[in-house]
Amino acid sequence: MNALAATTRNFRRAATILGLDSKLEKSLIIPFREIKVECTIPKDDGTMASYVGFRIQHDNSRGPMKGGIRYHPEVDPDEVNALAQLMTWKTAVADIPYGGAKGGIGCTPKELSKSELERLTRVFTQKIHDLIGVNVDVPAPDMGTNAQTMAWILDEYSKFHGHSLGVVTGKPIDLGGSLGREAATGRGVVFATEALLSEYGKSIKDLTFVIQGFGNVGSWAARLLHERGGKVIAVSDITGAVKNPNGIDIPTLLTHKEATGGLNNFDGGDAMDPNDLLVEECDVLIPCALGGVLNRENARNVKAKFVVEAANHPTDPEADEILSEKGVIVLPDIYANSGGVIVSYFEWVQNIQGFMWEEEKVNNELHRYMAKAFHNIKNMCQTHDCDLRMGAFTLGVNRVARATVLRGWEA
C-alpha cells in the first residue's frame, strides 16, 4: 500500500472513531492548494535544463503551513500529498500552531554542481515566493536539501519581501538557525521512547536496541541511547550492517563512519545482512530510514517488543495488523519523529521575536512538548479504546477539525 493510501486510510479510521460529519471529513482531506512550476536553469556547460518543482499546501486552519522541500529524482506527487497531509496531523499532535505542506523538485542533487543547485533553488523560490511566507507557509530541509538550501531560499525570498528570517527553518546558525536543530529529530525519538517505556515500568538503561538507518536521525538516536546506558546491538545503513550482542560502542562507530563513509569493516562488531536487521532479537526496534520497510513479508518475524517509528511511514497497514496480533507496541511516526518540526517551530519563534535561545532551553522545551503530546495521545487511547497510532491520529484530526469548525468552514 502506498504512502497516500495508508495515510488516507488512517485518517478515515480516525474520522470514523471521532464521528466526523462526512462533508467535514472530505473538506479536511482535500489539499488547500497544489502548486506545480517549471524551473529552467543554465547548466555549467552552457546548456539549458528544465525541472518540475511543486509544493502541496494541505491545511492552514491552525496556522501557517509547514513542511520540507526534497530534491529527489522520483518526487512522486502522491507521496508528497501524503507527507503534506501527515504534516497537518503531526503538527496538531505536537500542538504547535501550524498546518501541513510538502514540496520538492524532481532532480538528482549529486549530479548537479553546487552553483547549479543554487540557481535551481533560486528559480524555484522566484516561482513560489508569493505563496510562501512567515505567516503563510514555512519550508524546511528534507531529502536532498540542507541548511545551505534554506539559506538560498531565505536570500532569494528576501529580495522580494525584505529581510525575512522566519520564512524557512533548518537554516545555518549564522543566519538565524536554532541551536539543537541538527539533533532534534533523533533527540525527540529518544524522548518519545522514554515516555513509552515508562508506561511499562521500563527504562532505556536496561534494554537492547536495533536501529535501521544511520543518517542524521539514526546516528543521533544511537548516540543519545548509548549515553543513557541503552545497549545498541545492531545498526545498518545503505553501506551495510553491523551487530554486537554486547552492545556497539556508538562514539567509536561514529568516528569510523566519518573516516570511511560507511559501516563496513568496523572492528567493534560483526558484519550482518542488512535484511536480517529488522528481525533481529531486541527489546526496541527503531526504523530511521525509508517508508514501507515493515510489511506483510517480514512482520511475523519481528522479535522486538516495541517499534518506534523514527522514519515516515515505515510500517505498512498489513504489518500493523500482524504486529498488533503479536502484541508488539508500535509508537507511530506522527508522534515519534516530530522532534524536528517542534524545534523548527522554536526556530521560527526565535526569528519572529528576534531573540535566540540557549541550546539547553531548546532541549528542555522539546522534552516538555514530547512528554505532553504522549500524555495527550494516551488520553485519546483510553477515551476511544484504540492503539497508539489511532490515539495519535484521533488527537491530530480532532484538533484540526475543531479549528476548522470554529473558523466557520461552511460559510
Strand order in the sheet with 48-57: 33-42, 48-57, 99-106, 65-72, 137-141
Q: How far, in Å, CA of 223 to CA of 104, rounded?
A: 30
- Is 326 noted as a catalytic residue in this protein? no
Return the closest-CA partner of residue 166 out of 146, 128, 141, 137.
137
Determine the distance from the C-alpha atom of residue 179 to the mean position of all C-alpha atoms in its chain, rounded to a whole number. Answer: 18
Q: Which of 36, 43, 90, 102 is catalytic?
A: 102
Q: How far, in Å, CA of 313 to CA of 305, rounded?
A: 19
Return the closest-CA partner of residue 112 out of 100, 123, 96, 128.
123
Contacts of 215 by beta carbon, 8 Å cutoff, 6+ apart: 237, 288, 289
Question: Using DSSP, how many helices (H) and how many strands (E) does the chain show?
Answer: 13, 12
**Residue 247: left (phi > 0), alpha (psi -120 to 50), or beta?**
left
**Cβ-based burial of 130 (10 A; exposed 0-12, middle 13-18, buried ≥19):** exposed
Beta bridge partners of 237: 240
Return the closest-CA partner of residue 68 out of 114, 100, 95.
100
Indicate the angle between helix axes 388-407 and 3-18, nearest 10 degrees.
70
Q: How far, in Å, CA of 220 to CA of 409, rounded?
A: 42
Q: How far, in Å, CA of 146 to CA of 138, rounded?
A: 15
DSSP class of residue 315 equals: B
Return the closest-CA partner of residue 342 out of 370, 303, 319.
370
In three state form, how does the secondary structure of 128-180 look? HHHHCECCCEEEEECCCCCHHHHHHHHHHHHHHHCCCHHHCCCCCHHHCCCCC
Q: Which helix (H) or strand (E) holds 12?
A: helix 3-18
Active site residues: 102
